[in-house]
Structure 1
Amino acid sequence: MNTRSHWTTRPETDEDIQTVRQITLAAFETAEEADLVDALREEPAWIDGLSMLTLDEGGNAVGHALLTRCHIGDTPALCLAPCSVLPAYQRTGAGSAAIRAVLEAAKARGEHFVTVLGHPTYYPRFGFARASEHGVGMNVDIPDDALMVLALDGRRIPSGTIRYAAAFGDI
């Protein structure tokens, strides 16, 4: 599969729930991430319109990115996780398209801050920076360069400890 510069994206609908699960199961070695998405749908942290799909030329969903509510200290923020792409479409831009689309949707909704725990060489392309540089941390030990934050609208990122939805467990 060649890299594409333009992908079609759209928000997840109720009819996509099983498709999102299949994409997530295919993208990860265990069902943990797929189970997390399912659990997040049942939580107040779920925000309609912030679960985004990437579609191939035939209109089939091949990628997914999810933002749910978290907090930095007492400040509302969003958590980007998980992001999933069918193996045949990985490294084609499908994941980046879903991430860009969901970040744009969040900004359009008036959201300000996004956190991500992920690959330190991947997420900076979307504007994420090391969280510790902004006084943002977690209540568990993680590699400093893996925790990142983004201000969607240029606001100053608040300092504090990130509190995730209950479905994330003890992180």
Structure 2
Amino acid sequence: MYIRRECPSDRDAVYSLLDAAFADQAPPGETPYEIELTRQLFASDEYLPKLSLVAEADGEILGFVIGTRGWVGEVEAVGLGPLAVTPENQRSGVGSALMHAIIGAADALDVPLLALLGSTEYYPRFGFVTSTKVGVESPEAEWGAHFQIRTLSAHTPDQVGTFKYAAPFDMP
């Protein structure tokens, strides 16, 4: 398996992956929300191609993660997600490899922090903490501890405020 940048020719495989990974969270007969969100992220001005990664083995895409431009006040940051792994490859290290790769890539690009909404049991292993521990407020108060931040080398303590995701995250 190797991690590489996603490219337009990967899109159908990415959408199929998202469908398989999130099918159990969508209402019966409906397409998972993450597919349309990802389509809109790819089309948005906030799309960051250098932070859109796939895990591939033997020509098959096993996992995907995307980072898009976000903000803490006036400071540019990155919102992560969706992160997805094919059901048959979950719990095999694919998601961890993608997380390590995107954290490293973002740090190399001098991104000050990454934000995500996710499991409080999974993401802390990658250095994510509840957002309020670093002075960042969640866009939605009810997200509580599930809204998490990973500070990177370019982060400074004065980068505080409410996080704003890329526009497609505002869709209903």
CA shift at 1:140, angstroms?
2.0
Letter in 1 for 2:48: I
Number of the residue aligned with 1:11: 5
CA shift at 1:103, angstroms?
1.6
CA shift at 1:152, angstroms?
1.6
Question: Size of the alignment, in residue pairs?
Answer: 164
Number of the residue aligned with 2:111: 111
Letter in 2 for 1:109: L
Given the superposition, is the C-alpha separation of residues 170 and 142 from structure 1 closer, same or farther in structure 2, using an over 3 Å criterion?
A: farther
Q: Distance in 1 between matches of 2:124 and 2:171?
A: 25
Given the superposition, is the C-alpha separation of residues 133 and 123 from structure 1 closer, same or farther in structure 2, using an over 3 Å criterion?
A: same
Number of the residue aligned with 2:43: 42
Number of the residue aligned with 2:66: 66
Question: In the alignment, is residue 28 of structure 1 matched against residue 22 of structure 2?
Answer: yes
SS of residue matched to 1:10: strand
Question: Where in structure 1 are there 5+ consecutive unaligned residues?
Answer: 1-6
Q: Distance in 2 between matches of 1:139 and 1:85?
A: 26
SS of residue matched to 2:84: strand
CA shift at 1:145, angstroms?
1.4
C-alpha root-mean-square deviation of aligned residues, in Å? 1.6
Of all paired residues, the percent bearing the same amino acid is 30
SS of residue matched to 1:66: strand
Question: In the alignment, is residue 142 of structure 1 matched against residue 142 of structure 2?
Answer: yes
Given the superposition, is the C-alpha separation of residues 33 and 125 from structure 1 closer, same or farther in structure 2, using an over 3 Å criterion?
A: same
SS of residue matched to 1:25: helix
CA shift at 1:150, angstroms?
1.1
Question: In the alignment, is residue 80 of structure 1 matched against residue 74 of structure 2?
Answer: no
CA shift at 1:170, angstroms?
6.5
Q: Distance in 1 between matches of 2:83 and 2:139?
A: 23
SS of residue matched to 1:28: helix
Indicate the larger mover: 69-78 or 161-170.
161-170
CA shift at 1:138, angstroms?
2.4
Number of the residue aligned with 1:160: 161
Question: Where in structure 2 are there 5+ consecutive unaligned residues?
Answer: 27-31
Instruction: Give the TM-score, by structure 1 length.
Output: 0.89
Could you report, residue by residue, the CA deviation over 1:10-61 in whole angstroms, capped at 9, with x for unpaired residues?
Answer: 01011101111111111103320011010011111101121111122x2311
Could you report, residue by residue, the CA deviation over 1:95-131 in whole angstroms, capped at 9, with x for unpaired residues?
Answer: 1111111221112222221101100111111111110
Could you report, residue by residue, the CA deviation over 1:70-105 in whole angstroms, capped at 9, with x for unpaired residues?
Answer: 001111100111000110001111111111112211
Instruction: Give the TM-score, by structure 2 length.
Output: 0.89
Given the superposition, is the C-alpha separation of residues 142 and 107 from structure 1 closer, same or farther in structure 2, using an over 3 Å criterion?
A: same
